[in-house]
Structure 1
């Protein structure tokens, strides 16, 4: 697969370190490899996958906005500037640290399936899986609702002010960044057949090129209506009526009534303690607790003694992932339809039982989920913002696969997500398709506290990579002593082939495939193969990381993903 120059440079940098002892060392300092220094700032910090979005977030906070105001403004801009990963046609999840109450608050901004679409309709069409594009995988977009819910509780500036930078860039234009241009070009041939996409997301049928100016006046109009009319302008006004007519005309099921009925919900984050650090995720329908299950299993092993990049480190990480993902496929679903046994899945006793299934000598080929008796009781953006008052926001937002479904209603300037692809077309499964139901979700924000105080707001976007990425970042920081930027730049692994909660894959029977980024010692690769792992090299499935840490000396520390176009900056 062709990689853009920025990713080729990154891959080459890691390749040059492959023969060095793990962890890969910087040739000048001897420290673990990092593409840049950490960013320090005394007052506020933003880390996003686009430099202009980062600057927007800082401008909002400099003018008196809260971290939530800044996050909304940056997210709106990312929907314009990085449509390959997100937009107002998708869903949003967030975790907010409120310095006034000294508590974490979670928001589940995921939308539901159309009420007029049934499992029987998929069966009538002879479908075994929900297709990735077109009208069938479309669910109600939850992002705009989430913006207004977060703003109502934690915002300080008018929403019109928060959306103004994105509206201005949409009208005046902005230069497309390198990695975004690469993924945009990959999506155009796939999605151009769907009505409205070519007209609104190409230049004469092609993707915009690196550095080329891109405007989206239709999105500017939509955001202006939202700024003036609030959330109801999107869910109950002319926008919703345009959406209704578009899907009726193009074989879809999403209706005005589906839009008008939508509400996200505030949820309580859940946590486990990993070596003295409380790691927080949101409960299902998302996959965040998979990261917590992995950490619970791994806490029983002395990873620091084994060392970063050792065969033991990567083997244990992979085996813990297999065990957690077996439960992910079986037990994670919309809590309105199925009660996921979260407390049992995160219990120490259950982690100890699962840990005993790991052999240090041999890779697991098949993994069964927990039995009911034991438990009785993929494209995205991630960003994080911290303000001068101590409020911190961990936010993730997505259209799901690629640029989404390809369905782009005329004159609105955004693409609908294809999140419904994550349903299972199998009666009786917790994640089985049903009208008005939220699908299993991959996007997960994360947060870490220590001794009841905020320590880290972070995330790693990228489908099933996300729990694996969360765990790898935390191991790098806590077990291997890396700094915030080193933790993100260190080479990653991605295990593929676990049983899938969406039903597109059969149960794992061969151990899956372990994909390793360049930078791990070759002797580690050989030893993993001896343990029975199928090891391959792959371009690009390793996610996108942003992070903000509280500086114990005051202010914040920021880090940004070197595999993306992003930037961490502060003031």
Structure 2
């Protein structure tokens, strides 16, 4: 194996920052800040562009969560726009391959993987409702203005460089089963090849037309108007249980933040069916074990592994979770504007390319939200009509002295809250800088065998192995063994710092110009 040492410096700016998993999206958000827009304006523009330039992770066919923090007052607000099962869902349509097997690591599969891929895996998407509600409450730009960068990117198309070609190629078997997504992303059923001499693009003509309609008719047209008729028609024709009344009844939900404290940091998370409650559970367990700056990395790693493992046992046995072999694929955006307002936003299609279905006329790639439900009947998170599943997403905002100080989140399914726990502990317990904590080797304790980054100190794996099975892995692009975080932070000098995942080739922090 050929290895490289990669170091990505923090980006500094007094005018605001956008950290995201794709530089085109981050730059679109930063341009909004430069024109006088605020953190929410930039976050929504960034998320909309991400749905075009990185369609395997997030999009308007999915759902998510966000937290808004007022830079002046410190006031916090959260928005739940996660996916919801159709009202006409029949759990009996998802029979198990082996009803007698399964635990919180590996529950039984559904016959034909109907909860993982295809139209039967799709839940009602909440992204458009959430983005519009967020702009209405905290934004300064119009809905139409927010859509323009995404429309321009959709008309130009997804750029097929080496990384996009790789991301499509690893899922080509699943993508080739759906004619619409195959036509959108593949070349005659084969993975596209990156342009050798010129830039290649895959235009998203139908999606551009849908976004143009929403810019003119408004966001609710996605749920109640002609766009809704188009979307529901595509879904019904494909065999989905989603109908027009499922779309019409969907509303994003504002709630007070779930709050807690770690050391001297006040932390805000999403309440309810998110990664937030389990993050706080694990954080309390870590704090009780008394980590301090003098603690060894091996001691810290065992502390993290034990806390995460115990918290997951509570989460998956009492809250429920759809554990499948599919890796979670999500996009996270962290934004701070010149006034210190912060937004932490996570949007997801769930698996890579979601259900691996694109709606033929609407042109959008759809989520596989059914995967997040427990496929076994009689469980806390079992499949049911018209409800939301337990989600892994865990956007956070940390405050000091009553003012937002750090907005952070990550992509990566079940690895999300364990990553955030280790990063926040690195800052609070070990005094690491934002840049250092992003480069610190991590563990993942959300799988049967605890994964240890090969870059960790040699005694880390040995120490954990005394309590749990261990696997030493590389922090590779594929498979994705650890989550992909991004963050913005208030700096001591009064400006702001931003970091994106060091080993992600497209991730970036974009600074707003003066």
Q: Verify same fold: TM over 0.5.
A: yes
Pick the aligned partner of 2:24 from 27, 33, 52: 52
What does 1:254-265 correspond to in 2, within 5 Å? 254-265=242-253
Alpha-carbon separation, structure 2, partners of 1:122 and 1:174: 34
Partner of 2:493: 553
Partner of 1:193: 177
Partner of 1:460: 410
Partner of 2:204: 216
Alpha-carbon separation, structure 1, partners of 2:370 and 2:71: 36
Please, which moves more after superposition, 202-211 or 278-287? 202-211
Distance 1:208 1:481, change over 3 A: farther
Distance 1:111 1:529, change over 3 A: closer
- 2:300 paired with 1:313: yes
What CA deviation, in whole Å up to 9, does each residue of 1:70-91 have, x standing for no partner?
Answer: 1111111100000110111000
**Counterpart secondary structure, 2:332:** strand
Residue 284 of structure 1 contacts residue 332 of structure 1 at CA under 8 Å; is this kept in 2? no
Partner of 2:397: 447
Residue 305 of structure 2 contacts residue 464 of structure 2 at CA under 8 Å; is this kept in 1? no
What does 1:515-554 correspond to in 2, within 5 Å? 515-537=451-473, 539=476, 540-554=480-494
Q: CA deviation at 1:244?
A: 2.1
Residue 450 of structure 2 contacts residue 468 of structure 2 at CA under 8 Å; is this kept in 1? no
**Counterpart secondary structure, 1:303:** coil
What CA deviation, in whole Å up to 9, does each residue of 1:366-390 have, x standing for no partner?
Answer: xxxxxxxxxxxx1001111111222
Q: CA deviation at 1:297?
A: 0.7
Q: CA deviation at 1:178?
A: 4.4
What does 1:148-547 correspond to in 2, within 5 Å? 148-173=132-157, 175-210=159-194, 212-307=200-295, 310-332=297-319, 378-497=328-447, 512-537=448-473, 539=476, 540-547=480-487
Q: CA deviation at 1:125?
A: 9.6
**Counterpart secondary structure, 2:227:** helix
Residue 96 of structure 2 contacts residue 109 of structure 2 at CA under 8 Å; is this kept in 1? no
Partner of 2:38: 66
The aligned length equals: 485
Unaligned runs of 5+ in 1: 1-7, 14-33, 335-377, 498-511
Q: CA deviation at 1:36?
A: 2.3
Please, which moves more after superposition, 320-329 or 94-103? 94-103
In the superposition, the TM-score normalised over structure 2's length comes to: 0.89
What CA deviation, in whole Å up to 9, does each residue of 1:149-176 have, x standing for no partner?
Answer: 1011011111111111111121124534
Q: CA deviation at 1:463?
A: 0.4
Alpha-carbon separation, structure 2, partners of 1:247 and 1:107: 26
- 2:11 paired with 1:39: yes
Alpha-carbon separation, structure 2, partners of 1:184 and 1:485: 31
Distance 1:135 1:106, change over 3 A: same
Residue 234 of structure 2 contacts residue 361 of structure 2 at CA under 8 Å; is this kept in 1? no
Q: CA deviation at 1:469?
A: 0.6
What CA deviation, in whole Å up to 9, does each residue of 1:120-148 have, x standing for no partner?
Answer: 33349998545310122211000000011
Q: Which runs of 4+ in 1 moved over 6 A?
A: 124-127
Alpha-carbon separation, structure 1, partners of 2:318 and 2:484: 26
Alpha-carbon separation, structure 2, partners of 1:86 and 1:479: 33
Residue 399 of structure 1 contacts residue 418 of structure 1 at CA under 8 Å; is this kept in 2? yes
In the superposition, the TM-score normalised over structure 1's length comes to: 0.81
Partner of 1:570: 511
Residue 57 of structure 1 contacts residue 70 of structure 1 at CA under 8 Å; is this kept in 2? yes
Unaligned runs of 5+ in 2: 100-107, 322-327
Please, which moves more after superposition, 188-197 or 135-144? 188-197
What CA deviation, in whole Å up to 9, does each residue of 1:464-518 have, x standing for no partner?
Answer: 0011011011012111222112211211111233xxxxxxxxxxxxxx3111112
Q: CA deviation at 1:307?
A: 3.8
Distance 1:379 1:138, change over 3 A: same
Alpha-carbon separation, structure 2, partners of 1:180 and 1:138: 24
- 2:80 paired with 1:96: no
Residue 129 of structure 1 contacts residue 421 of structure 1 at CA under 8 Å; is this kept in 2? no
Residue 111 of structure 1 contacts residue 262 of structure 1 at CA under 8 Å; is this kept in 2? no
Q: CA deviation at 1:534?
A: 2.6
Residue 477 of structure 1 contacts residue 483 of structure 1 at CA under 8 Å; is this kept in 2? yes
Distance 1:98 1:178, change over 3 A: farther
Residue 461 of structure 2 contacts residue 470 of structure 2 at CA under 8 Å; is this kept in 1? no
Alpha-carbon separation, structure 1, partners of 2:207 and 2:436: 37
What CA deviation, in whole Å up to 9, does each residue of 1:238-263 have, x standing for no partner?
Answer: 22222222232222211111111111
Alpha-carbon separation, structure 2, partners of 1:80 and 1:38: 26
Alpha-carbon separation, structure 1, partners of 2:277 and 2:487: 19
Distance 1:458 1:177, change over 3 A: farther
CA RMSD of aligned residues (A): 2.1
**Counterpart secondary structure, 2:84:** coil
Alpha-carbon separation, structure 1, partners of 2:502 and 2:160: 17
Please, which moves more after superposition, 145-154 or 209-218? 209-218
Alpha-carbon separation, structure 1, partners of 2:258 and 2:138: 21
What CA deviation, in whole Å up to 9, does each residue of 1:521-562 have, x standing for no partner?
Answer: 223323332444333325422011110001232121111111
Alpha-carbon separation, structure 2, partners of 1:126 and 1:35: 47
Residue 48 of structure 1 contacts residue 568 of structure 1 at CA under 8 Å; is this kept in 2? yes
